[in-house]
């Protein structure tokens, strides 16, 4: 048809003869030609009326080589001939060399044009593919909010908004269909292949939300994070992404409740956000407990079997063949045994291979559960007769305290995660050398359990802006930040002028310090701005107000204007601003406003913050008004992000472990010095000898005070920071000193949140979450 359009101006009214064009080709040509107004006839070379039909035709389309006995003279002069058979290029078309001149007929073949069109199609397809791999401009349709007064409960607000289908949201922000794995209607995992596709895309601006030392009620960092991105995208038309941690079910059913934000600045659906989400914490629990089971099982089997029996079971004969697994070959290599045939190992080599010789007193790997259960803080395991008298004291930690959670938050790829999982130290052997997950042969299995958990989960805010929910380490017993991978993917998606807003747990002295010194080192990312969240309520507490207790009504000092308490408490805000300035990043103070706050109190806080070195300080009303209530904050953040950045780490990794701990204690917490227990001193010496001295420090400390004493508010001074113990998360890549007594398994209060949580059996709706 392409040739005919070039050779014949129009086929309308022309007689077209199809010779030997059988099957689909004939049917297609007849259809196309008749659409163009041509009259079509079909025949074979052996047809009796062939000469007559050839003479009548204006156009002849042939599907096979003309037989020699058919003379060219049968074709009327001026007839256009089109060849559709594959061997035309060989010259064997049967018309002779002078047919054009003798008959003045035009002979053309589809072969060369087919090749040209295929080449053209390949170019077009390649261009489309290349274009699909490039960054795509957002076409985001935000959801409208109609805030009510008084503000309904969080779950009522969440349920009152109809979220977009997650595949629609994904398309709006430039994700390809094969880059998401959908979980239900409102959640999707995002594949890491996106990082390769957008590797040349310039990152957006990187914003950290931190806070002052909080009350037990929390001061609303998650709410500020959500309010800020709603303001940026829904009200200022700036691409933005929120990156949040997945909440543990411990606090959700304990005291604190959920962590989806609150009021008109939250992630929806909030019940899905706060409960199982996409199962990442369950995967971590399974992986963690598999490793714990492997530790105790290995000790039992080594204590009850000979070297030969162990070897025969670890390297069994299968279908007449005996061979090492890949992880066993790696262990042999680490032991300096360069053999691959199981039958060639000497007795001494077999002994080295089968014996880990774990010292039970040095086991640091605990089982985990994502429930607050104080009675699992110390337990005895192995009491059944089948364990042959091997029992020991152990404990459960909350699931989010697992080192695997910390690894998930800090890893940069699947290969990196697998390597980190293998490096996790579970105990020491009887010679004082570390025993790892790789030594136990469980690395591959752990990676399999975590293969889906490594992908960030895409959700949305109340105003339809995108959110990544990924990883959830606590900030007081871990590093307290969402994942590096979520941040990296989001920074590519928002584009060069966009913003990624992530949140660090608890006060700036804890979550922010670890964000800079641990997370930024792992990611290589440089933050643009710190948003420091404060509340009048918390400042009054730091100024000498009465204790704030979760679940109890606030005292009148917190609900009535008291400028003196606010002014006195601003010392904590000033200290946290100074901590942020240690890292060379501009600070914007976000004052999370409550309805009981007086205008004079709000103005006073903003004034003191600016006098203390903050780039700006703005009151925020996103809880009651959504993104519209954080527009001023968003504008301040955009201005601060354009400032020159002098980001730097607090300490050099090459410094001794003790010196790094001392720098954090003195410069961040304001301690006079540190005091190491004998156990802590011994562990530091051991880790230094084992080659772990160059890792960053992750302090495990109370979040309720700058010091180690929760009751000391404001800015404590003159205290000595006690380091009771020092442990190592080698896979995650940090040393964590324990300050004072730190529990890694929360307990339930007298009246937990679960009293208010219920399910409607008719509608299947969750009630009572907050």
Percent of the chain with pLDDT over 70: 96
Q: Which fold has domain 281-449?
A: Domain 2, N(10)-formyltetrahydrofolate synthetase (3.30.1510)
The tens digit of pLDDT for each residue in 645-688 reads 899 999 999 999 999 999 999 999 999 999 999 999 999 999 99
Q: Which residues pair with 508 in a beta bridge?
A: none
Question: Which residue is associated with the tokens 């089982």?
Answer: 367
Query: What is the C-alpha to C-alpha distance for residues 143 and 462, in angstroms, rounded to an integer?
Result: 7
Look at residue 102 and tell me whether its pLDDT is greater than 70. Answer: no
Average pLDDT, stretch 122-131? 87
The tens digit of pLDDT for each residue in 549-587 reads 877 888 999 999 999 999 999 999 999 999 999 999 999
Look at residue 23 and tell me whether its pLDDT is greater than 80. Answer: yes
Q: Tell me the DSSP string of 627-679.
A: GGGGHHHHHHHHHHHTS------SS-TTS-HHHHHHHIIIIII--SEEEE-HH
Query: What is the C-alpha to C-alpha distance for residues 169 and 716, in angstroms, rounded to an integer?
Result: 47
Query: What is the C-alpha to C-alpha distance for residues 636 and 319, in angstroms, rounded to an integer?
Result: 70
Look at residue 105 and tell me whether its pLDDT is greater than 70. Answer: no
pLDDT score for 107: 63
Q: Tell me the DSSP string of 145-180.
A: ----SS---HHHHHHHS-PPPHHHHHHHTT--GGGE
Choose from 58-72, 119-133, 274-288, 471-485 the range with maximum mean pLDDT: 274-288
CATH code, 1-89+100-125: 3.40.50.720
Query: What is the C-alpha to C-alpha distance for residues 222 and 219, in angstroms, rounded to an integer?
Result: 9
Return the biggest CA–CA distance within the chain: 115
Q: Could you state, in order of their start, the residue ranges of all structural domains in the chain?
A: 1-89+100-125, 154-278+452-642, 281-449, 657-738
User: Which of 79-93, 286-300, 394-408, 744-758 is the least confident region?
Assistant: 79-93
Query: What is the C-alpha to C-alpha distance for residues 500 and 456, in angstroms, rounded to an integer?
Result: 14
Task: Report residue 454 as tokens.
Answer: 């490594």
3-state secondary structure of 712: coil
Look at residue 44 and tell me whether its pLDDT is greater than 80. Answer: yes
The pLDDT confidence band at residue 73, using thresholds 50, 70 and 90, is confident
276: alpha, beta or left, given left = phi > 0 and alpha = psi -120 to 50? alpha
Q: Which residues form the catalytic set? A: 221, 223, 245, 256, 475, 506, 594, 623
The pLDDT confidence band at residue 94, using thresholds 50, 70 and 90, is low
Q: Which residues neighbour 415 within 8 Å (Cβ) at sequence distance 6 or greater?
A: none
Query: What is the C-alpha to C-alpha distance for residues 529 and 638, in angstroms, rounded to an integer?
Result: 9
Look at residue 209 and tell me whether its pLDDT is greater than 90. Answer: yes
Q: Which residues neighbour 681 within 8 Å (Cβ) at sequence distance 6 or greater?
A: none
Query: What is the C-alpha to C-alpha distance for residues 741 and 398, in angstroms, rounded to an integer?
Result: 16
pTM for the model: 0.85
pLDDT score for 97: 42
Q: Name the CATH superfamily, with its identifier, for domain 657-738.
A: Formyltetrahydrofolate synthetase, domain 3 (3.10.410.10)
Cβ–Cβ < 8 Å for 455, 191: yes
The tens digit of pLDDT for each residue in 319-336 reads 999 999 999 999 999 999
Cβ–Cβ < 8 Å for 707, 697: no
Give Cα separations from 46 to 10, 43, 93 (angstroms): 29, 8, 17
CATH code, 154-278+452-642: 3.40.50.300
Same-fold call for 154-278+452-642 versus 281-449? no
Burial 201-223 (b: 16+ CB within 10 A, else e): bebbbbbbbbbbbbbbbbbbbbb
Look at residue 98 and tell me whether its pLDDT is greater than 80. Answer: no
Look at residue 296 and tell me whether its pLDDT is greater than 60. Answer: yes
Percent of the chain with pLDDT over 90: 76
Look at residue 258 and tell me whether its pLDDT is greater than 90. Answer: no
pLDDT score for 254: 81
pLDDT score for 91: 45
pLDDT score for 112: 75
């Amino acid at each position: 048809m392409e040739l005919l359009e070039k050779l014949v101006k129009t086929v309308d009214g022309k007689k077209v003869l199809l010779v030997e064009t059988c099957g689909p080709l004939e049917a297609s040509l007849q259809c196309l030609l008749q659409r163009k107004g041509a009259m079509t006839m079909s025949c074979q070379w052996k047809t009796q009326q062939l000469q007559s039909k050839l003479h009548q035709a204006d156009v002849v389309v042939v599907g096979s080589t003309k037989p020699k006995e058919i003379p060219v003279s049968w074709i009327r002069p001026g007839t256009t001939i089109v060849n559709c058979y594959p061997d035309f290029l060989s010259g064997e078309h049967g018309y002779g060399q002078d047919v054009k001149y003798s008959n003045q007929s035009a002979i053309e073949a589809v072969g060369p044009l087919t090749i040209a069109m295929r080449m053209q199609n390949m170019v077009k397809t390649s261009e489309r593919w290349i274009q699909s791999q490039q960054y795509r401009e957002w076409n985001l349709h935000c959801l409208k909010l109609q805030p009510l007064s008084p503000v309904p409960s969080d779950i009522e607000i969440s349920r009152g908004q109809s979220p977009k289908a997650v595949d629609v949201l994904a398309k709006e922000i430039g994700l390809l269909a094969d880059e998401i794995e959908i979980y239900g209607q409102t959640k999707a995992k995002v594949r890491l292949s996106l990082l390769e596709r957008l590797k040349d895309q310039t990152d957006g601006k990187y914003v950290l939300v931190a806070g002052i030392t909080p009350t037990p009620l929390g001061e609303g960092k998650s709410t500020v994070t959500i309010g800020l991105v709603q303001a940026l995208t829904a009200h200022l038309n700036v691409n933005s992404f929120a990156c949040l941690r997945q909440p543990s079910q411990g606090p959700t059913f304990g005291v604190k409740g959920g962590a989806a934000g609150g009021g008109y600045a939250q992630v929806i659906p909030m019940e899905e956000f706060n409960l199982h989400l996409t199962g990442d914490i369950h995967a971590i629990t399974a992986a963690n407990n598999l490793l714990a089971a492997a530790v105790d099982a290995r000790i039992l089997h080594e204590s009850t079997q000979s070297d030969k029996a162990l070897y025969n079971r670890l390297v069994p004969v299968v279908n007449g063949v005996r061979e090492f697994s890949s992880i066993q070959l790696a262990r042999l290599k680490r032991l300096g045994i360069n053999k691959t045939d199981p039958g060639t190992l000497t007795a001494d080599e077999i002994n080295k291979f089968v014996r880990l010789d774990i010292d039970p007193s040095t086991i640091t790997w605990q089982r985990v559960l994502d429930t607050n259960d104080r009675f699992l803080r110390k337990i005895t395991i192995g009491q059944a007769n089948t364990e042959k008298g091997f029992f020991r004291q152990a404990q459960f930690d909350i699931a989010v305290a697992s080192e695997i959670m910390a690894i998930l938050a800090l890893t940069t790829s699947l290969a990196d995660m697998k390597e980190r999982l293998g490096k996790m130290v579970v105990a020491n052997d009887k010679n004082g050398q570390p025993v790892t997950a790789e030594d136990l042969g469980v690395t591959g299995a752990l990676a399999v359990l975590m293969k889906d958990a490594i992908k960030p989960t895409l959700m949305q805010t109340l105003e339809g802006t995108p959110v990544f929910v990924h990883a959830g380490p606590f900030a007081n017993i871990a590093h307290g930040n969402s994942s590096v991978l979520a941040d990296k993917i989001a920074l590519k998606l928002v584009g060069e002028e966009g913003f990624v807003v992530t949140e660090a747990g608890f006060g700036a002295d804890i979550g922010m310090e670890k964000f800079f010194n641990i997370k930024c080192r792992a990611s290589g990312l440089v933050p643009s701005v710190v948003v420091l969240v404060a509340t009048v309520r918390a400042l009054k507490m730091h100024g000498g107000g009465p204790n704030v207790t979760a679940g109890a009504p606030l005292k009148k000092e917190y609900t009535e204007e008291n400028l003196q308490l606010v002014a006195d408490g601003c010392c904590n805000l000033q200290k946290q601003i100074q901590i942020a300035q240690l890292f060379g990043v501009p600070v914007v103070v976000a004052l999370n406003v409550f309805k009981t706050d007086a205008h004079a109190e709000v103005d006073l806080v903003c004034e003191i913050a600016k006098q203390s070195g903050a780039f700006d300080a703005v009151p925020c009303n996103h809880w009651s008004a959504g993104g519209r209530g954080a527009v001023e904050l968003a504008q301040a953040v955009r201005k601060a992000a354009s400032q020159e950045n002098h980001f730097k780490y607090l300490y050099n990794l090459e410094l001794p472990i003790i010196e790094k701990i001392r720098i954090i204690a003195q410069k961040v917490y304001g301690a006079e010095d540190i005091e190491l227990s004998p156990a802590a001193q011994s562990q530091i010496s051991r880790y230094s000898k084992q080659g772990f001295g160059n890792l960053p420090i992750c302090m495990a400390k109370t979040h309720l005070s700058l010091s180690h004493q929760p009751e000391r508010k404001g800015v404590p001074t003159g205290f000595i920071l006690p380091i009771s113990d020092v442990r190592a998360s080698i896979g995650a890549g940090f040393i964590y000193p324990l300050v004072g007594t730190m529990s890694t398994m929360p307990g339930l209060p007298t009246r937990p949140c679960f009293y208010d949580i219920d399910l409607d059996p008719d509608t299947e709706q969750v009630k009572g979450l907050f």
